[in-house]
Chain A
Amino acid sequence: EVQLVESGGGLAKPGGSLRLSCAASGFTFSDAWMNWVRQAPGKGLEWVGRIKSKSDGETVDYGAPVKGRFTISRDDSRSTLYLQMNTLKTEDTAVYYCITIFEIDGPCWGRGTLVTVSS
């Protein structure tokens, strides 16, 4: 069974940092292109960024609101995706989801982890 389990959320101060993890199982993680998506309280869904597989160059793309502040990385030996969030702003408060998209089965989402940025 495919599973994506996010962790690492919590409370951070404006200007602070937090690192999220997403543990993957049930598929070949090293072949997968992985994404982060977030949802602010009461708001819609926003794509944060994507990392390609190592064989595809491990290229990373970011959404405009987080570019230069967030870093996506992966550890294929641990089947884990990371999101390093620096210089946090109150508007980064959201539930953060990791997702991947399979060629046959389409999108698969984790259950998310809540990040709250507040003084």
Chain B
Amino acid sequence: DIVMTQSPESLAVSLGERATINCKSSQSVLYSSDNKNYLAWYQQKPGQPPKVLIDWASTRESGVPDRFSGSGSGTDFTLTISSLQAEDVAVYYCQQYYSVPFTFGPGTKVDIK
């Protein structure tokens, strides 16, 4: 199974400042035949289902503010919130969908400092 780790576990950032979350997979999730990283980022607020922010490691979903961006390839990935807003307080997860069992990182809780 591919193990997903995230760091930090939690972070508190001032409004308007940058938040960076890291995700690492135990093996590459880059599929050579299509050159795509099978990696998604989710935002989850209390009582709500996970919302897809980024798929294929760096493709922002329709309607997601452009302050959210994803980067990385292979085994190391980053979600960046360029200017944190109050509504961004949530738990963020990464997920690999390269192979089953699909696995998720443990989550990173983002708060306002």
Contacts and interface: CB of A to CB of B under 8 A. Distances in A.
Given A45-B50, A45-B93, A97-B49, A106 B102 contact: no
Interface string B80-113: 0000000000000101010011111111000000
Main secondary structure of the interface of A (DSSP, over half): strand
A109 B102 CA distance: 14
Interface stretch (B13-21, B53-61, B71-79): B53-61
A46 interface: yes
A63 B52 contact: no
A82 B4 CA distance: 28
Main secondary structure of the interface of B (DSSP, over half): loop
B101 A61 contact: yes
Contacts, number: 47
A-side interface size class = 20 to 34
Contact of A109 (B50, B101, B104, B105): B50
Contacts of A109: 49-50, 52
Contacts of A105: 55
A47 B101 CA distance: 6
A50 B49 contact: no
Contacts of B95: 45, 107
Given A44-B105, A108-B52, 6 more contacts: A44-B93, A44-B104, A47-B102, A97-B50, A101-B97, A109-B49
